[in-house]
Every structure is written in structure tokens, then in C-alpha cells.
Structure 1
Amino acid sequence: MLNGVGGCTVAEAKANISYAEVLAWVAYRDKHGTLDIGRRLELSTAIIALQVNRSAGGKAEMADFMPHADHQALALEKAMAEWV
């Protein structure tokens, strides 16, 4: 049961999907981003928040409005310079 809505189980889907279909989904995800609706909504609201911030003279970055995004690690030297 797919999220209680219907369809096949994960095991059935894995058994029935072809390699070509997997490649098609990978290409779709590479072009359009994640399939996770929460992440897509977070990105959309971050874009709006960034535009509002910039129009008000702010210097925020996109990552500042995306708490669940994978952020790049801060270099030790840069962190020390910013925290002093």
C-alpha cells in the first residue's frame, strides 16, 4: 500500500521497475530537483523570503531560509573569524 492510498508495496515496485524507468526518474530528479513536497515547498518559500530580504537591503543567503537543507560545512578559519 503506497502511503495508504493504493498501488503496490515498495517491494513490488522495486521488483517491477525497469532499469530504463529508473534512469528516467533520475534524469527527472536531476532536472527538477527533489520529489519531496516538503523540500520543494521549503525552497519556494526560501526564494520568496530571500527576495523580500534583499529588497529591504538585507544580505541573507538562500540557506538562511532553508533549515532542512544540507548546508556546506564552514571552514574552521572562516568560522573563527566570524565568531570573534
Structure 2
Amino acid sequence: MLNGIGGRTIAEAKQTLSYVEFLDWVEYRRKRGSLHPGMRIERAGALVAAILANVNRKKDSQPVSFYQFAPHHEEPKLSLEQAMETWR
């Protein structure tokens, strides 16, 4: 068993998971995203694709968004720049 988790059922893990451990997992998911392997692979692939598309784009074209390559991720309603403008 790894840290008392391996080999347990979901019900057993829920019963033995402390509130502090639960908060640690919530913070991890907030910071790192989904634990689903497919979503993590999609996110990594979309990030690489967006970087390559922006590095190789023509000078007069618009930058490509990460969300154009990640169909299962929702684009935020406000961009960072828009949010900063509203905070001023």
C-alpha cells in the first residue's frame, strides 16, 4: 500500500480520509487541474500545440489560444488583461 491508499475501495478511502487530507487534494486539483489521465494528456498536448502554433505564426496573424486545441477545457469568461482593467 502506498500511504495507506493503495488497494482500498473508494468507500474505504472516503472513510479514512481526514479533512486535512481532503483540503490538500482540493488545493492540488485547484492548482494542477483534473486527475483524469486523458484530460491531463489533452492539456499537455494543447499547450505544446499552442506554443508551436504561436512560434511559427506569421507576423500579421493573431496569436493562437490554448483553448483552440483543448475542446474539453472551458475558456475563462474574462482574460487576464480584462480582469486587470476591471480592478483598476
- Is the pair's TM-score, using the shorter chain for normalization, greater than 0.5? yes
Runs (5+) with no aligned partner, structure 2: 1-5, 78-88
Secondary structure, aligned partner of 1:7: coil
CA distance in 2, matches of 1:71, 1:32: 16
* Corresponding residue for residue 50 of structure 1: 50
With the length of structure 2 as denominator, give the TM-score of the two structures. 0.64
4+ long deviations beyond 4 Å: none
* Corresponding residue for residue 12 of structure 2: 12
Runs (5+) with no aligned partner, structure 1: 1-5, 74-84
Identity, % of aligned pairs? 38
Aligned length: 68
With the length of structure 1 as denominator, give the TM-score of the two structures. 0.66
1:16-55 matched pairs, under 5 angstroms: 16-55=16-55
Which structure has more RCO (C-alpha within 8 Å, separation ≥ 6)? 2
CA distance in 1, matches of 2:14, 2:73: 27
